[in-house]
Amino acid sequence: MKPTARHTDKAPRFWRDDALPFIEARSIADGREVCYSRHSHAHFSIGAITAGRSTYLHEQASFEVSAGTVVLMNPGDVHACNPIDDQPWSYLMLYVETAWLTDLQHQLGFAQDLAFRRFTATHTQDVGLFNGLGALYETLVDSQQDVLGKQSAAVEFFTEVQQRLNPGESPVREPNFKLERAADFIREHCTQLLKLEDICEAAQLSPSYLIRAFKQHYGMTPHAFLVNQRIQFARERLRSGRLIADVALEAGFADQAHFQRAFKQHLAATPGQYRGV
């Protein structure tokens, strides 16, 4: 099944992708159109108020939240978020499978003896988390973004959530040769549709460690490294006179427009300018 995102101007916009079954997203452009009774989920939920104000009910507490606020709901937490006196407000929400987030917590060295380490914060105005959630949402709903990019962005964001809101001891770092093995795997398979678990399996590293340590070691995330390798592959093909549309597909890009944009970001020139056409 292809990624889906359905919406009208005022209707909720939902996004899900069979390639990333652990996460779902939604956005509401006009929160006056929806009203919740108290409810709970089996998964972890995190949202961002993007405009206006609303009432946030969490267990026995009630808060007024406004644009810039991030709200968090542990699995099983009873909650609701509703408009104030018909005032307009909007928000983004991410729903994450508890098992996936628990595994990430364990990778980060949190609560090895627990099924899930609950968050004590019910809401925060942490600017970094607010901006990060918005950026992750845009990555997830971007039809031009590939699976590895979306997986990497999710791991990076939820690692940040854990470290900001549930600080703990840092895990022991793996030797650098494993990172080099990851880089070699990306180089060798750069034109293929890679998933995060493919790279992790090849390097024998956890996703959370790979994302953090790879960026520290190479100055870019595994996904950025992959795109860079694809651009280098494309340069060779373009120099040999291959057609731009053919090169885009051979290099692993979804389409020519995506290739054009990535190429210009890397080389400050279009493929046509580089090719000499």
CATH for 236: 1.10.10.60
- With CA atoms as reference, report the closest residue to 182 among 215, 151, 154: 215
CATH for 91: 2.60.120.10
Same domain for 196 and 123: no
In total, the chain counts a number of residues equal to: 277
Mean predicted confidence (pLDDT) in 69-93 = 84
Express each pLDDT in 144-184 by its tens digit. Answer: 899 999 999 999 999 999 999 976 544 444 457 899 999 99
Please write down the HEC assignment for all residues of 176-196.
Answer: HHHHHHHHHHHHHCCCCCCCH
Mean pLDDT comparison of 45-59, 74-88, 172-186, highest-scoring range: 45-59
Same domain for 86 and 160: yes
Same domain for 153 and 24: yes
Same domain for 103 and 16: yes
Q: What is the pLDDT of residue 223?
A: 93
Mean predicted confidence (pLDDT) in 197-221 = 91
pTM of the model: 0.77
d(CA 22, CA 95): 8
In this predicted structure, the answer to whether residue 137 has a pLDDT above a threshold of 50 is: yes
d(CA 86, CA 68): 20
Report helix angle 176-188 to 207-218, nearest 10.
Answer: 90
Mean predicted confidence (pLDDT) in 121-133 = 95
- With CA atoms as reference, report the closest residue to 254 among 143, 90, 98: 143
In this predicted structure, the answer to whether residue 36 has a pLDDT above a threshold of 80 is: no
Q: What is the pLDDT of residue 196?
A: 95
Burial readout 158-185 (b: 16 or more C-beta within 10 A, e: otherwise): bbbbbeebbeeeeeeeeeeebbebbbeb
Same domain for 131 and 186: no
Domain range for residue 236?
Answer: 173-277
